[in-house]
């Protein structure tokens, strides 16, 4: 994939926006006839390979960077799941203590816009390929377009969740007379005019009831992204109608076929069994539960040096000490030993086991380079718990508890009863308690899957969860009691990376960042 990405993606970006100004000085896009490239089915396939390769690099890294990609940094490391390891870099320390600055390299959105640029090219030029190649059937074109629309929506979804307002470009940048520097467009406009319509278009175009290839965006994956988007809008805007929209998308997920040709459904029939749960991360193509995972081939891609697992040097982050102090106490939960290295001390407490074929602890001396990491974008267990959240918010608490229990029981524990004080008040299911229980179940079930930070923001739990966590960290680090908590709500968004501001004077920094 990496070699294809270098050729296909570089060409696509060169022909469109690009991520660096050097593309605009080395060669004029007007000297290249783009339509001369999009003339056969192979061009569709190679451009899609570039699209996925670009996203793969953004999420998991380029195979050489010791800090890895941004999948975990963006989705997890600002949460209560991880803390600074002591082998400090400004990247991880700023996240652990909520002191982000515009110099933090993880706050750079260039890779997402590179991927968007490739998607824009796909959307504009795939429809012309049948004019040159009779083998380019409408079905092939539609499938390619569906993936491009969905990937563009996915990238903009990351952008609005992380930075809010952002530059919006939906056409290839192919003419030097066009202004390359754009101001920020409101996040609501991006959501309503691009993300939501793109996902609907993608769903309309994608072939239905086909056995899914989980390395690519498929029918269920599109519906899963759309459900996630609707849940985000429902939670962050307190809009009840979006929960109804989300439920409709969840139903589409459950009606789609997985990679074995069987519909996912709403029961435990297609959940990976307890004993082989780690197949979701080690061998995702063997399980009925997988929806969309990121492929990685170390032979081509190099080291997937994720910050939460094995790297070429010391990990910048480690599993939060409270996870060790609390989750490990539950001897019934089979996920604990499969998810984290439970040994304390150097080379252990900073490691996540989930993506590695180790029994109970990391083998420290193993070379990380040959180890493939298959990061999960969406899977059925994730969808069941998000669906439970939507059901709870729309008043169907009995079925919300039922869906949560499918995951809870799969993890080796008895079902939680409707009268349990953890989910009820006076024997009646309680919306707030049930929501907290679902979030806790999601924390453990999707640990290290890039979900936790977005869960906290979506459900307005950032201050509730992170205030005591941050105060504890500051107190331990500085030896002085802290009570400032998360501080300003404006810090939920990320700063815009400093070089982006320098290159584009039309951008305005998120407050209160420099």
- Digitized pLDDT (tens) for each residue of the chain, 514 residues in all: 444 444 454 445 444 433 333 332 333 344 456 667 899 999 999 999 999 999 999 999 998 876 779 999 999 999 999 998 777 678 889 999 999 999 999 999 999 999 999 999 999 999 999 999 999 999 999 999 999 999 999 999 999 999 999 999 999 987 777 888 999 999 999 999 999 999 999 999 999 999 999 999 999 999 999 999 999 999 999 999 999 999 999 999 999 999 999 999 999 999 999 999 999 999 999 999 999 999 998 888 888 888 877 555 577 888 998 998 999 899 999 999 999 988 766 665 667 889 988 765 555 556 666 688 999 999 999 999 999 999 999 999 999 999 999 999 999 999 999 999 999 999 999 999 999 999 999 999 999 999 999 999 999 999 999 999 999 999 998 999 999 999 899 999 999 999 999 999 999 999 999 8
Nearest residue to 290 via CA among 226, 371, 385, 383: 383
Three-state DSSP class for residue 227: helix
Residue 408: count other Cβ atoms within 10 Å of its Cβ: 22
Token pair belonging to 179: 């202004």
Task: Decide: 82 and 76 in contact? Cβ < 8 Å.
Answer: yes
pLDDT for the residue 6: 42
pLDDT for the residue 3: 46
Tell me how many degrees the CA angle 50-53-55 measures, rounded to the nearest 5: 110
- CA 428/CA 416 separation, integer angstroms: 13
Nearest residue to 11 via CA among 40, 41, 34: 34
Residue 129: count other Cβ atoms within 10 Å of its Cβ: 24
Q: What is the pLDDT of residues 356-405, one digit of tens each?
A: 887 655 555 566 666 889 999 999 999 999 999 999 999 999 999 999 99
Q: What is the pLDDT of residues 449-466, one digit of tens each?
A: 999 999 999 999 999 999
Query: CA quadruple 499, 500, 503, 508: dihedral positive or negative?
Result: negative
Instruction: For residue 378, give the H/E element and its range.
Output: strand 376-379
Token pair belonging to 80: 């209560």
Task: Decide: 115 and 59 in contact? Cβ < 8 Å.
Answer: no
Three-state DSSP class for residue 317: strand
Q: What single string gives the DSSP state of each residue in 454-485? A: HHHHHTT-HHHHHHHHHHHHHHHHHSS----T
Task: Decide: 147 and 217 in contact? Cβ < 8 Å.
Answer: yes
- CA 29/CA 49 separation, integer angstroms: 22
Task: Decide: 74 and 377 in contact? Cβ < 8 Å.
Answer: no
- CA 340/CA 318 separation, integer angstroms: 10
Question: Cis ω on the peptide bond leading into residue 512 (within 30° of 0)?
Answer: yes
Tell me how many degrees the CA angle 94-492-164 measures, rounded to the nearest 5: 120
Measure Cα distances from 418 to 303, 434, 435 in Å. Answer: 46, 10, 13
- CA 219/CA 227 separation, integer angstroms: 12
Task: Decide: 222 and 150 in contact? Cβ < 8 Å.
Answer: yes
> What predicted TM-score, i.e. pTM, was given to this entire model?
0.93
Instruction: For residue 319, give the H/E element and its range.
Output: strand 317-319
Phi, psi angle pair for 82, to nearest 5°: -135, 155
């Amino acid at each position: 994939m990496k070699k294809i990405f270098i050729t296909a993606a570089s060409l696509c970006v060169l022909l469109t926006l690009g991520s660096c100004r050097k593309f605009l000085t080395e060669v004029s896009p007007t000297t290249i006839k783009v339509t001369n490239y999009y003339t056969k089915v192979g061009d569709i396939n190679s451009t899609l390979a570039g699209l996925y390769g670009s996203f793969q690099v953004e999420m998991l890294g380029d195979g050489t960077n010791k800090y890895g990609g941004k999948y975990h940094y963006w989705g997890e490391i600002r949460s209560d799941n991880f803390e600074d390891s002591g082998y400090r870099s400004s990247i991880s320390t700023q996240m652990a203590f909520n002191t982000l600055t515009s110099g933090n390299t993880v706050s750079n959105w260039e890779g997402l816009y590179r991927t968007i640029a490739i998607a824009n090219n796909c959307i504009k030029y795939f429809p012309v390929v049948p004019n040159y190649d009779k083998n380019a059937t409408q079905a092939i074109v539609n499938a390619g377009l569906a993936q491009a629309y969905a990937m563009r929506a996915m990238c903009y979804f990351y952008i609005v969740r992380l930075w809010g307002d952002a530059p919006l470009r939906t056409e290839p940048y192919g003419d030097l007379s066009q202004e390359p520097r754009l101001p920020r467009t409101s996040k609501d406009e991006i959501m309503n005019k691009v993300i939501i319509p793109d996902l609907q278009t993608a769903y309309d175009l994608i072939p239905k009831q086909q056995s899914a290839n989980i390395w690519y965006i498929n029918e269920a994956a599109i519906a899963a992204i759309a459900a996630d988007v609707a849940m985000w809008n429902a939670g962050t805007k307190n809009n009840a109608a979006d929960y109804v929209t989300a439920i409709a998308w969840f139903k589409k997920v459950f009606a789609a076929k997985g990679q074995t040709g069987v519909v996912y459904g709403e029961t435990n029939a297609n959940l990976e069994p307890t004993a082989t749960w780690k197949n979701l991360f080690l061998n995702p193509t063997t399980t009925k539960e997988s929806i969309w995972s990121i492929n990685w081939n170390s032979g081509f891609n190099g080291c997937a040096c994720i910050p939460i697992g094995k790297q070429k040097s010391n990990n910048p982050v480690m599993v939060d000490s409270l996870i060790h102090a609390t989750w490990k106490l539950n001897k019934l939960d089979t996920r604990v030993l499969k998810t984290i290295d439970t040994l304390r001390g150097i080379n252990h407490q900073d490691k996540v086991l989930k993506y590695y074929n180790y029994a109970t602890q990391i083998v420290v001396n193993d070379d990380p380079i040959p180890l493939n990491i298959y990061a999960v974008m969406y899977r059925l267990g994730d969808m069941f718990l998000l669906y439970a959240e939507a059901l709870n918010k729309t008043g169907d608490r009995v079925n919300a508890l039922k869906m949560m229990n499918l995951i809870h029981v799969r993890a080796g524990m008895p079902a939680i009863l409707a009268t349990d004080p953890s989910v009820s008040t006076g024997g009646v299911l309680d919306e707030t308690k049930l929501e907290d229980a679902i979030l806790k179940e999601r924390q453990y079930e999707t640990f290290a899957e890039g979900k936790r930070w977005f869960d906290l923001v979506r459900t307005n739990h950032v201050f509730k969860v992170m205030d005591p966590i941050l105060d504890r960290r500051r107190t331990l680090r500085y030896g002085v009691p802290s009570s400032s908590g998360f501080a300003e709500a404006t810090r939920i968004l990320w700063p815009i990376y400093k070089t982006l501001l320098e290159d584009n004077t039309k951008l305005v920094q998120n407050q209160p960042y420099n």
